[in-house]
Amino acid sequence: MNSQKYAITFACYNQVEYTKMCIDSMIKHGLDLSRLVVVDNASTDSTRSYLETLPLGGHIFNKTNLGCGVAWNQGALALQAEWTIIMNNDVIVTKNWIENLIETAEKNNLKVISPSLIEGPLVEGMLDYDLDAFTDNAHLKMQNAMRYNGHHAVCLAVHHSVWLEVGYFQPIPKLLGFEDTMFFNELKKNNIAAGMTGASWLHHFGSITQSAMKQERGLSQKDGLGYRYNYRLLKQSWLTRKCNKIKKNRLLKSWLHQELSKYGMTMHGTRVQGDFVWQ
C-alpha cells in the first residue's frame, strides 16, 4: 500500500517505555516513520528526548496536558491523508496491520474501522505469548470476520470524509477520556458506517496512561478519570442511555457467541494466567 494513503498519530504522556515498544513494533513491521505524528502532552520523563531522535513525520510538544481530544486533533491536522489512524501508544502492532485495516474498510464500504485486540500486561518484562504466531493464526481464521458498528478508541482508522461530516474530536481537556464516546455518538447520529475486523490485530497493554494519571491524582483504578457528569454532553435522557447500554451488551453477547461458535475465538481477548479469555 502506498504510504501516502494514510497518516498515523498518537498522544503520549510519560510512560516512555511503552511508546518505545509501540514504535519499535512499527519499525519491525516496516512502517515509514515519516507517516507518524506523535503529540506529547507535557511528559516529565525522557519521552521528549526520545522522540527527538526519531525521523517522524512530526512531533508536537504541548506545554501542558491538553488531553486526548486536543492531541488527536493536532496530530490528524499536522499530517493529513485519505485515512488517519488514531491510536494509543500502549500497543504493539503486528504484520500488515495497516494494510489489512484499510483494505477491509474499503472492501466493506466502512468509513471508520478498528482492529481486533488482545489485552494484557507485561509478564517479567515481556508478553507471555508469541504475538506474531498468534496473529498469523488469528488472521487465517478470522480475516473475513466483521463486527458491524463495532469500534474502539485503542485504534481506529478514520476516512477523511468523516472529518467533513461530523468534525474532529471535542477539544476539551477536562473530558479526560470521554472524547471517544462523544465521537462515536456523532458517528451513530450521522449513520457513519463503522466496524471492527478480524483481519488486523494489536496487543494492548491496557490504558497505561490513564492508569498513571489516576495514580497522580490519588484516584483508585476503579474511579473515573474524567468529570463524572460528562455523560450530560451527549444530551440523552436516562432512559435512552439505559436502553443503549442494554442494546450494546446484547450485541456484545451475540458477537461473542457467534465468533466462538464459528472460530473458537473472538476479536477481543484478554490474557489471564497464561490463557486467553474471550470477550
Q: At what angle do helices 179-189 and 67-78 cross, to 10 degrees?
A: 60
- What was the pLDDT predicted at 224? 60
**What whole-number distance in Å separates Cα of residue 248 and Cα of residue 126?**
33
Longest dimension (CA), the chain: 51
- What was the pLDDT predicted at 177? 76
* Beta-ladder partners of 86: 9, 156
**C-beta of residue 64 within 8 angstroms of C-beta of residue 77:** no
Q: Which domains does the chain have, with CATH numbers?
A: 3-230 (3.90.550.10)
Residue 17 belongs to what H/E stretch? Answer: helix 16-28
- 14-30 burial by CB neighbour count: b if 16+ within 10 A, else e? bbbbbbbbbbebbeeee
Q: Which single residue is written with the C-alpha cell 478480524?
A: 198
**What whole-number distance in Å separates Cα of residue 5 and Cα of residue 35?**
9
Measured over the CA atoms of residue 258, residue 264, residue 270 and residue 273, the dihedral's sign is positive
In whole angstroms, what separates CA 269 from the centre of its chain? 15
- What was the pLDDT predicted at 88? 95
Q: In this structure, what C-alpha cell is assigned to residue 61?
A: 510538544
135: left (phi over 0), alpha (psi -120 to 50) or beta: alpha
Angle at Cα 132 formed by Cα 130 and Cα 138, nearest 5°? 100
Per-residue pLDDT of the chain (279 residues; tens, 9 = 90+): 798 999 999 999 999 999 999 999 999 999 999 999 999 999 999 999 999 999 999 999 999 999 999 999 999 999 999 999 999 999 999 999 999 999 999 999 999 999 999 999 999 889 999 999 999 999 999 999 999 999 999 999 999 999 999 999 998 887 777 889 999 999 999 999 999 999 999 999 976 666 655 555 555 556 565 666 677 777 888 888 888 889 989 999 999 999 999 999 999 999 999 999 999
- What was the pLDDT predicted at 25? 98
Q: In this structure, what C-alpha cell is assigned to residue 17?
A: 517505555
Taking the CB of residue 263, how many other CB atoms lie within 10 A of it? 15
- What was the pLDDT predicted at 235? 82
